[in-house]
Amino acid sequence: MVEPGRRGRVVALLANYCWVQLDQPGPDDISRLLCTRRTRLGKSGQTICVGDWVQVDGIDWAAGRAAVAAVEPRSLVLDRPPVANLSTVVVVVALAEPALEPLQLTRFLITAERSGARVELVFSKADLLPHAAVEQWLQRAAAWGYQPLAVSTAAGAGLDALRQRLSRPGLAVLCGPSGVGKSSLINALIPDLGLRVAAVSGRLQRGRHTTRHVELFPLATDALLADTPGFNRPVLPQQPAELIACFPELQARLRQTSCQFSDCQHQGEPGCAVGSNWDRQALYSQCLQDLLAQQGRQAGGARVEAAGLKQRGDRLEPRLDPRYRQLSRRGRRQQAAAEFNLPDPED
C-alpha cells in the first residue's frame, strides 16, 4: 500500500540512501524508513544532510521504503562533517593516547564556533593523566571561555555530568580527531548501542577511523546525539574577521574595549586593545598566518588561471588554445553521426 507524504528527520546517510525517522509513526508503529532521493532534488542542487527535516512520499509501509521529496530550510549547519539543524557541538579531545595538541584543539574549536551552535569541550581519557595535570587543562580551557568536562569511560568519571548537559532537547554533534574515544563515549552514554571502537596505533600514536558515517542516536526525550568520523585537520575560515569571532576570550576583550582600527588583526599593531598577554595568542597567530597563506595560494591560482597557465606537478605549463584541441574518439563519432543524420552511436 502506497501512502502520501510524511515528515521526518534524516538520521543516517548510506551511499545513495538515507534513513528517515518519522515524527509520527505509521501502521504497525513503523517509525523509520529507508529512503531514496527524488531526482528533482539533485537537479535543483539540493543536498541532504544528516539532521535535515524532510518530506517523504511514495511510502511503502510493508517494505519500509519511501523517497525524500523535499528538504526543509536548515537552521545551524556544521560544515565538516555536514550535520544540519544542530544545537550543540561537542569537541572531544583526548588528554593522552593520542597526546593533546593545543593547535589541533584550537582548530576544532574554531570549526565548532563557526557553526553558531553552543560549544561544549570534553577532555576524554582523563584516567591516563595525574589529577593535577587534568585540573591544569580544565583551568586553562576555562580561561579560554569554555566550561570543560574531563571524562573517562574506563573509570566512569564525568559521564553523569556530560549526560545531563546533552540531555537537553536538540541535536548534539560529537566531533574531534580520530582515536579520542567518541564512539566509546557514546557507548557509555547509550549502553545498548555497542558501536565499534579500536585502539590507537601503537607506533604512530594516531587514532584509527572506526566511524565511517554520521548517524544520530536518541539520548533522552527529544535529545539526539551524533557520532561523526574523526579527522585531524579542520579547515579554517576564509577571512580574518571570521577567525577573530571564533576565539571567545578575544571577543571578551573586544567587548570591554575596542581597537583603534576596525580592521585590526590583533598582532600587536599600534592601537590594538587586545594585547599579547593571553594564552592562545600564539595559537591564534599561527591560525591567522595559515589563513593568510591559504588566501595567497587561492589568489595565486586565480592569477595563474587568468594568465592562461596550468599547474602540472611543481611547474606551470601553457594551456592549449581551444582552437587546437582535438575531439575525443567518442566526440568524432558523434560529430560524424550528426553530420550525416545517422543514429547516435552511443544510443
**Residue 297 shares a structural domain with residue 340:** no
Domain final residue, candidates 227, 251, 276: 227
Residue 41: what pLDDT? 84
Q: Is residue 235 part of a domain?
A: no
What one-character DSSP code corresponds to residue 187?
Answer: H
Let me know if 70 is exposed, middle or buried by CB neighbors in 10 A (0-12, 13-18, 19+). Answer: middle
Strands (E), the chain: 2-3, 6-14, 17-22, 32-37, 53-60, 65-71, 77-78, 83-84, 88-94, 118-124, 149-150, 170-175, 215-220, 223-227, 309-312, 315-318
Domain final residue, candidates 201, 227, 253: 227
**Residue 222 shares a structural domain with residue 340:** no
- Structural domain total, the chain: 4
CB 213 within 8 A of CB 17: no
**Grid cell in block for residue 57:** 512520499
Cα-to-chain-centroid distance, residue 6: 28
CB 179 within 8 A of CB 94: yes
Q: Is residue 313 part of a domain?
A: no
Let me know if 197 is exposed, middle or buried by CB neighbors in 10 A (0-12, 13-18, 19+). Answer: middle
Residue 206: what pLDDT? 45
Domain final residue, candidates 73, 99, 127: 73
Residue 22: what pLDDT? 94
Residue 207: what pLDDT? 40
pLDDT tens, 64-112? 999 999 999 998 988 877 899 999 999 999 999 888 999 999 999 999 9
Distances (CA, A) of 307 to 304, 319, 324: 5, 9, 18
Distance CA(52)–CA(72), nearest Å, equals 7
Cα-to-chain-centroid distance, residue 133: 29
Q: Is residue 315 part of a domain?
A: no
Residue 260: what pLDDT? 84
Q: State the amino acid at position 217 in one-letter form.
A: F
Q: Is 315 helix (H, G, I), strand (E, B) or coil?
A: strand
**Residue 135 shares a structural domain with residue 178:** yes
Q: Is residue 190 part of a domain?
A: yes
CATH number at residue 198: 3.40.50.300
Range of the domain at 207: 78-227
Identify the CA nearest to 230 among candidates 167, 184, 263.
184
Q: Is residue 232 part of a domain?
A: no
Residue 258: what pLDDT? 86
Identify the CA nearest to 86 among candidates 112, 68, 66, 110.
112
Let me know if 325 is exposed, middle or buried by CB neighbors in 10 A (0-12, 13-18, 19+). Answer: exposed
Give, for 290, the enclosing helix (H) or strand (E). helix 281-306
**Residue 31 shares a structural domain with residue 106:** no
**Grid cell in block for residue 210:** 572506526
**Residue 301 shares a structural domain with residue 341:** no
**Grid cell in block for residue 98:** 593520542
**Residue 132 shares a structural domain with residue 101:** yes
Residue 246: what pLDDT? 95
Q: Is residue 312 part of a domain?
A: no
**Residue 100 shares a structural domain with residue 166:** yes
**Residue 13 shares a structural domain with residue 135:** no
pTM of the model: 0.77
Residue 338: what pLDDT? 60
pLDDT tens, 296-316? 877 766 554 555 556 565 555
**Residue 150 shares a structural domain with residue 177:** yes
**Residue 261 shares a structural domain with residue 344:** no
Distance CA(146)–CA(149), nearest Å, equals 9
Q: List, in sequence order, every residue forming a beta bridge with 152; answer none if it has no partner.
A: 157
**Residue 142 shares a structural domain with residue 247:** no
**Residue 121 shares a structural domain with residue 201:** yes
Identify the CA nearest to 180 among candidates 137, 232, 115, 114.
232
Which residues, given as ranges, of the chain have pLDDT below 50?
Answer: 1-2, 197-211, 304
CATH number at residue 24: 2.40.50.140
**Grid cell in block for residue 219:** 539520548
